[in-house]
Chains A and B, each alone.
Chain A
Amino acid sequence: MTQAPAIELKGISKAFGPVQANKDISIRVMPGTIHGIIGENGAGKSTLMSILYGFYKADKGEIFIAGKKVQIPDSQAAIAAGIGMVFQHFKLVENFTVLENVVLGAEDSGLLRPSLARARRELKALAEEYGLNVEPDALIEDIGVGMQQRVEILKALYRKADILILDEPTGVLTPAEADQFFRILERLKAEGKTIILITHKLREIMETTDTVSVMRRGEMTATVKTSETSPAELAELMVGRKVLLRVDKAPAKVGATVLEVKDLNVTDNKGVHRLKGINFHVKAGEILGIAGVAGNGQSELLEVLGGYEKATGSITVNGQTIDLTGTHSDGRSRRARGIAHVPEDRQREGLIMDFTAWENVAFGYHHDPKYQRGIFMDNAAIKDDTVGKMERFDVRPPDPKLAAKSFSGGNQQKIVLAREIERNPDLLLIGQPTRGVDIGAIEFIHQQIVALRDQGKAILLVSVELEEILSLSDRIAVMFDGRMMGERLPAQTDEKELGLMMAGITKGEAA
């Protein structure tokens, strides 16, 4: 090959204290290609990209850009070297316009006006060249996330980036927005830009990249041509063993209605109407999956059901009405009613990160008579209980005295699941069961959820991962803007239809 690689990393190593985040990583990215980097959480993808963008300094190794050795001590140097980065969480000033955000940090001089005028011209040129249309004078807070992402890309292009690093770019997008986004990437590639796409979604890798590198535990385990690999092979490379990508489940044996929700309304303390007349039910022995882009009322729904958000309307569990005013009920009384809750954000709600595993196993159930000895808590009994739970749910390392924060995301989630599922609840609320969880653990968690369903329990599943909803649910409901957009059976729908519903469009309107 005569052409020099756009980026070449040679022997990059980086340690954080005792943790070897990157170990002797070498990678070549050819210009004008889309190169995927895939790996589980904590595999070292972000660290590697942070080194490339000058946030961290590698302990060892060299970086070449277009064949020339470079030093990247900070992000200014990265930008100068033609590297642009789009972060998972956008770095935009909400109450600035698109134009102001693009210019921010790249002003020509102390005076803003000439910079803005030049930026306006260049933005127009860029928009024509790459099909990246945005309204330059719109405020960031008024445009959708898909548009915000375009602004991030424009920011990088405005800074003359030839190499774009995109970190988990589709996490916040609807399927339709994601499709649009990938069209933009194709266009950028056609114009000669080099793109590094970091993701944990196998499908995106398969559909968009030319080459893919797999990382596992800080090491680069393989770099292959995308056309010569398969999702199953990539998953195996990521985890280090064979993985079942689909959930095997028997048809649901549906029983009586457990949860009945009627005309549920929530107005938050800023006066925003979060839930607008929600109706649905969940029966024993079935999984109702609620799909939707994050922030469309799913969190509020779980909080109301879990007992820590006030609402109006009616909720019955096993025919008994539940108090929604917050004066006679809380998380504790919900648990007494047989409602278990695996919250969406385990680090903020489900666990106390500084507590030990055994303290977390009692969390929410610390009033259980089994855990008491006179006026004191029976810590020994809780520890015993924890040892059993850790074994049954394969929590690693199985050390009850370890702080929750010392476990990996997947093992933290297993602790929460063990605590909630082993309470033998009539109704399990479960939000984002596999967010930030490695593929190996996803398989296990899905099996546990299905097993609970097969015991005849009602399960309400909320997830932003459409694949997860489709493979686990017996019925699917879609939420948009605090409303239920409708229900579908998984066999009779597909990602495209659900994607439209997630964007607030029902079939009638689309046709």
Chain B
Amino acid sequence: MDVMPKWADVVLIPLISLILAATLSAIVILAIGESPTNALKIMVDGALGSTYGWGYTLYYATNFIFTGLAVSIAFHARMFNIGGEGQAMMGGLGVALVCMFIPWPHWSLALLGGIVAAAVFGAAWAAIPAFLQAKRGSHIVITTIMFNFIAAALLNYLLIGALKPQGSMEPATGKFPEATHLPNLHDVLGFFGIEFSKAAPANITFFVAILACVAVWALIWRTKLGYELRAFGHSESAAKYAGISPTKIIMVSMLISGGLAGMMAINNVQGEAERLVLNAVEGAGFIGIAVALMGRSHPFGVFLAAILFGFLYQGGAELALWTKIPREMIVVIQALVILFTGALDNMVRMPLERAFLAAKRRNKGAA
């Protein structure tokens, strides 16, 4: 029985959780000896106060949308894909290879090529753990984590060897050819006559990410595959009764998940760095888990949560720049947000449900 209206579940609970997380963060900042209001002001100014700040916020958010969607779609099939990090690294490798070795005539084609390569490499990296889960019963959480390390080692090996330009001292590929460079938001929005910072890294991939949100939504709630995926996620025994193959669902959900995580590379590798560097993913694969958790595995929720984490990332960087608050503080704030919105969900939900119930009773009594 639903005791709460839907808006309370979707809006009120995350909001209260966020306020709690912010309050605790404020106490920690106070303890460091800084002013929380000042810190908040710096974060808001730095992340949202200028198109430059927005450019960074949206750039980070784009990464998190992809990895968040990746975790979400797997989660609908009750697969816990912890391997977004490794899959995104491999996506980067795919992007680097097509950008370096295929002579693209125009950035739009290079973007399509990048998307395909990133998705295929990411999906391939998820395919092995998925196969082991489906056929051998090896736990997907364990295998995907292990594959993160294998991906990192593989990229290390390639970036100090085969992919490094002759004579370079840096473990990175050379700059990709000009034709593969993606337009950033300055170019895209400029086309519509909107001023946007030229220096910020947010690029056209942001719109690809929005399209991905819509596509994932349609896939989950409007297609047979999505239906089977959710059915399997809710009850494996019922799925078997209905003739849904567990092997197929495990494989397909993980391939899509890996593909989405891989697609992050068109943002950070092709769009921003324009070359493949070591540790290009910077933990975005793990942030995706928090984003999916907070976004309730719904694409729109993932979008909002990704923007929030983008804000925390960019605002946190500014905080470290302008105050004595260390860079690590932002990890604390993120952890608190994850703790309250994810793990402590029931702490907010229970009293709220009781409050709604009491209100309902009172109304009934009055009527």
A residues near B (Cβ < 8 Å) are: 17-19, 306-308, 330-335, 341, 343, 348-355, 359, 362-364, 366-367, 372, 375-377, 379, 406
Contact = CB atoms under 8 A, between A and B. Distances in A.
A17 B218 CA distance: 35
B223 A354 contact: no
B234 A349 contact: no
Q: Which of B2, B3, B244, B360 has the most CB of A within 10 A?
A: B244
B238 interface: yes
Contact of B245 (A330, A334, A367, A376): A330
B224 interface: yes
B231 A352 contact: yes
B228 A366 contact: yes
24 contacts: A17-B1, A17-B3, A18-B3, A308-B240, A308-B241, A330-B243, A331-B244, A334-B243, A348-B237, A348-B238, A349-B237, A349-B238, A350-B238, A352-B230, A352-B231, A352-B238, A353-B234, A355-B230, A355-B231, A355-B234, A364-B241, A367-B224, A377-B222, A379-B222
Nearest to B3: A17
B235 interface: yes
Nearest to A359: B227
B146 interface: no
Contacts of B227: 359, 362, 366, 377
A10 B238 CA distance: 44
Q: Which of B222, B227, B238, B353 has the most CB of A within 10 A?
A: B238
A273 to B, nearest CB: 22
B224 A331 contact: no
Contacts of B1: 17-19, 406
B347 interface: no
Interface in B221-257: 222-224, 227-228, 230-231, 234-235, 237-238, 240-245
A406 to B, nearest CB: 6
A377 B225 CA distance: 10
Interface in B112-136: none
A376 B225 CA distance: 9
B77 to A, nearest CB: 13
A366 B224 contact: yes
Nearest to A364: B242
Contacts of A343: 241
A18 B241 CA distance: 34
Q: Which range contains the number of B residues in contact with the other chain?
A: 20 to 34
A363 B242 contact: yes
B243 A351 contact: no
A18 B360 contact: yes
Contacts of B224: 366-367, 372, 377
Q: Which of B223, B224, B242 has the most CB of A within 10 A?
A: B242
A364 B227 CA distance: 11
A-B pairs, 8 with minimum CB distance: A331-B243, A332-B243, A364-B242, A349-B241, A330-B243, A308-B240, A376-B222, A352-B234
A307 B243 contact: yes
B344 interface: no
Nearest to B222: A376
A341 B218 CA distance: 30
A366 B242 CA distance: 9
B223 A306 contact: no
Nearest to B235: A352
Given A18-B360, A367-B224, A354 B243 contact: no
B357 interface: yes
Contacts of A331: 240-244
A367 B357 CA distance: 41
Interface string B178-195: 000000000000000000
A411 to B, nearest CB: 14
Interface string B202-228: 000000000000000010001110011
A348 B235 contact: yes
Contacts of A359: 227
Given A335-B243, A348-B235, A359-B227, 15 more contacts: A18-B3, A18-B357, A19-B1, A306-B241, A330-B245, A332-B243, A348-B237, A349-B238, A352-B230, A353-B234, A363-B238, A364-B241, A364-B243, A366-B242, A376-B223
A334 B241 CA distance: 10
B238 to A, nearest CB: 5
B184 to A, nearest CB: 33
A215 B242 CA distance: 37
A406 B2 CA distance: 9
Contacts of A349: 235, 237-238, 240-241
B362 to A, nearest CB: 13
Contacts of A353: 234-235
Nearest to A362: B227
A343 B241 CA distance: 8
A406 B235 CA distance: 17
A306 B240 CA distance: 10
